[in-house]
Amino acid sequence: MDLQTLTYIVVGLTFALYFGIAIWARAGTTGEYYAAGRGVHPVANGMATAADWMSAASFISMAGLIAFQGYDASIFLMGWTGGYVLLALCLAPYLRKFGKFTVPDFIGDRYYSRTARIVAVICLIVASLTYVIGQMKGIGVAFSRFLDVDYATGLYAGMGIVFFYAVLGGMKGVTYTQIAQYCVLIFAYTVPAIFISLNLTNNPIPQLGFLSDTADGTPLLVKLDQTLVDLGFAEYTAQKGGTLNMMMYTLSLMMGTAGLPHVIIRFFTVPKVSDARSSAGWALFFIAILYTTAPAVGSMARLNLTNTIQMGEVGSVDGNLEYAARPDWFKNWENTGLLAFEDKNGDGRIQYYDDKNPEFAAKAESYGWKGNEMVKVDRDIMVLANPEIANLPNWVIALVAAGGLAAALSTAAGLLLAMSTAISHDLLKRTFMPDISEKNELMSARIAMAGAILVAGYLGLNPPGFAAQVVALAFGLAASSIFPALMMGIFSTRINNHGAVAGMLVGLVSTLVYIFAYKGWFFVAGTEMFANTPDNWFLGISPEAFGALGALLNVVTAFVVSSMTAPVPDDIRQIVEDIRVPKGAGSAQDH
C-alpha cells in the first residue's frame, strides 16, 4: 500500500477514535466542563497530563533542536522535566486542596482582589496564546507533509478537529481524548527510534543506542562530532552558549512548566489532594519515556541527514549528492516549503556546510563552492522526516504522522480549554456576571473556546519562530507572571493584593518588552543596540531565558509593594496556613 493511502487510513482511524471519545464523554455541567467532575483516576490523569504537556514542541520540535544545537539543547530536557518535579512538590497538592477550578480563581480568592483575578486572566491568556501558536505550527507542518496539502490547509483542518472535541467535551472530553492521544504519540515516537537505533548501532534500545558504536566501531556521538567538524560546524557535544544563559534558560523553563495554567488545571480533576501529587509523579514517568528517547532521535536524525546530503569526502567534486538524484523524502519536504535548496555554484550538486565559519568557508572556496546550498532546513521537520530519511517502512512513517498530530492536538486542546474557562468562569461568572446561569456559563465557555481557536489559527498562519522557540517564549511569560504569584500565594502570608498585582504586571511587562525588543516586534527592533545577538543581550541572557529574571523582578516588586501597603487580612492568612498545614496538625504533640 502506498504511503499516502496508508497515512490517510492511520490518521483517519486515530481521528475517529478522538471523535468517538468526545461524543461519549461530552460535558453536561460546568463541573464536567471545567474539571471533568473531579473523578479522574491519578494514573489516567498522569497519562492525560503527559499528553497535554508533550506538545508539538516536545514531539516534533525538541528533537529538531537537539539535532541542530547538540549539547546546548539539553536545557529543554532539564527545564521541562525539572519543572514537573517543582510542580509536584510545590504547587499541585496545595492548589487542589484550595478546591477551585482555575488558576485565576485561586489568585483572585487568595489575594482577595477582583483586579488580581483580571490580571491573572490576562497573564494566562498571553502565555497560553503564545504557547498555542507553537501547536498550530506543528499541526500545519504535520498535515502539510503527510496529507499532501499546503501548510494553511493543514492548519485549518487541525482547527476543525480541535473545535469538535474540545468544544463538545470540555475537560471531561479532553481528558479521555488525551489518554488516547498519549498512547498514539508515545508509540509513534518510540517505534521509529527503535528501528533507527537498530540501523545505526544494532541496539534496539534508543537510550542505549545513543551511547553505542556504529557499524564501523566508532561511537555514534564521536562519529557525529567528526562528521560535523569536517563540514565546518561546531562539535555536536560541545557547549556553545554561555553558562549563565543556559542556567537562566533552564530556570525559566522549569518555572514556566510549573506555572502553565493548562497543566495546573489538570490537577483539579482528581478526587483527592493526595491524588494530585500522585498524578504529577505518573505524568513525569509517562513523559520520561519520550524525553529519554529524544536525545537519541535528535543525534541520529542529524547524522542521517548529514550523511544523506554529503555522501562522500568533503571537497570531492563527485562526493556531494547530485540534486537530480535526490531521494524521494527530499522532494516530498521541498513540496511543503520547509526544505529548500539553491544551486549557488551551478554544479548540480548539494553543498552542505557551515559557510559562517571563516576558516572552513575559505577552504570551501578552493573547492568551487559558493555557500551552503541547503538554504532552508526547518528544524520542525526532523522527527517527521527521520523515518523517511532512514528508509523505514511506510506504516512507520504513517504512524509518526499520527503521533505528531496527536501531540499538537492534545496540547492545543488543553491550552484552548484553559483560555475559555478563564474567560467564562473567571471574567464572566466570578467578575462581571455573577448571576449568570450554569447553562449560559457553559454556553459562554464554548463560545470563548471557538473564539480562541480562531485567534490561535490566525496566529498559527504567521508564527514568529519554529515551534519550540515560540513555546520557550510562552514558558518565559508564565514563569515571570503566574508562577511567582502562585508560589508566594501558597508559601507567604506577607504578600497582599497590591503586591501580587504589581508583581504580576512587572514580571509580565518586563518580559514582554525584552522579548519584543530583541525579537523584532518592537519599535526599537533592528537598531544596533537591540540586535538579537548574545553581545547585545542583558548579561548575555537571551529573550527565551529572560523569564527567570522576570520572575525575580515579580517577587521583589511584590514584597516591596506589600511592605508599603496594608497587611494581609487575618482570614486570608488563616487560609494560606490551612492550605499547607491541615487544622489540628501537631495537636498530638501538645498532649
pLDDT in tens, 510-534: 998 888 787 765 544 445 566 667 7
pLDDT bin (cut points 50, 70, 90) of residue 463 is low
Cα–Cα distance, 184 to 495 (Å, whole number): 44
Residues 245 and 306 in one domain: no
Give the structural domain span for 285. 42-300+387-451+469-580
Domain assignment of residue 463, yes or no: no
Residues 226 and 263 in one domain: yes
pLDDT bin (cut points 50, 70, 90) of residue 58 is confident
Boundary-marking domain end, from 367, 386, 405: 386
Task: Look at residue 528 in the predicted model and tell me its pLDDT.
Answer: 58
Residues 247 and 326 in one domain: no
Residues 110 and 217 in one domain: yes
pLDDT in tens, 560-572: 999 999 999 999 9
Cα–Cα distance, 124 to 23 (Å, whole number): 28
Task: Look at residue 586 in the predicted model and tell me its pLDDT.
Answer: 42
Residues 109 and 200 in one domain: yes
Residues 377 and 420 in one domain: no
Residues 188 and 270 in one domain: yes
Residues 107 and 178 in one domain: yes
Q: What percent of the chain has pLDDT over 70?
A: 88
Domain assignment of residue 266, yes or no: yes
pLDDT bin (cut points 50, 70, 90) of residue 585 is very low
Domain assignment of residue 458, yes or no: no
Of residues 279, 289, 281, the one with CA closest to residue 187:
289
Q: What is the CATH number of the domain that holds 486?
A: 1.20.1730.10
Task: Look at residue 530 in the predicted model and tell me its pLDDT.
Answer: 63
DSSP states along 559-583: HHHHHHSPPPPHHHHHHHHHHHS-T
pLDDT in tens, 184-203: 889 889 999 999 999 999 99
Mean pLDDT of the chain: 83
pTM: 0.81
Cα–Cα distance, 435 to 290 (Å, whole number): 46
Domain assignment of residue 14, yes or no: no
Residues 428 and 532 in one domain: yes
Residue 273 CB coordination number (10 Å): 19
Domain assignment of residue 186, yes or no: yes
Domain assignment of residue 192, yes or no: yes
H/E run at residue 12: helix 3-24
Domain assignment of residue 495, yes or no: yes
Residues 343 and 295 in one domain: no
Exposed e or buried b per residue across 68-98, where buried means at least 16 C-beta atoms within 10 angstroms of its C-beta: bbbbbbbbbbbbbbbbbebbbebbbbbbbbb
Domain assignment of residue 232, yes or no: yes
Residues 160 and 227 in one domain: yes
Task: Look at residue 278 in the predicted model and tell me its pLDDT.
Answer: 86
Cα–Cα distance, 399 to 145 (Å, whole number): 13
pLDDT in tens, 529-544: 666 677 788 888 988 8
pLDDT in tens, 382-432: 888 888 888 888 888 888 888 887 877 777 777 787 788 888 877 888 788
Residues 204 and 109 in one domain: yes
Domain count within the chain: 2
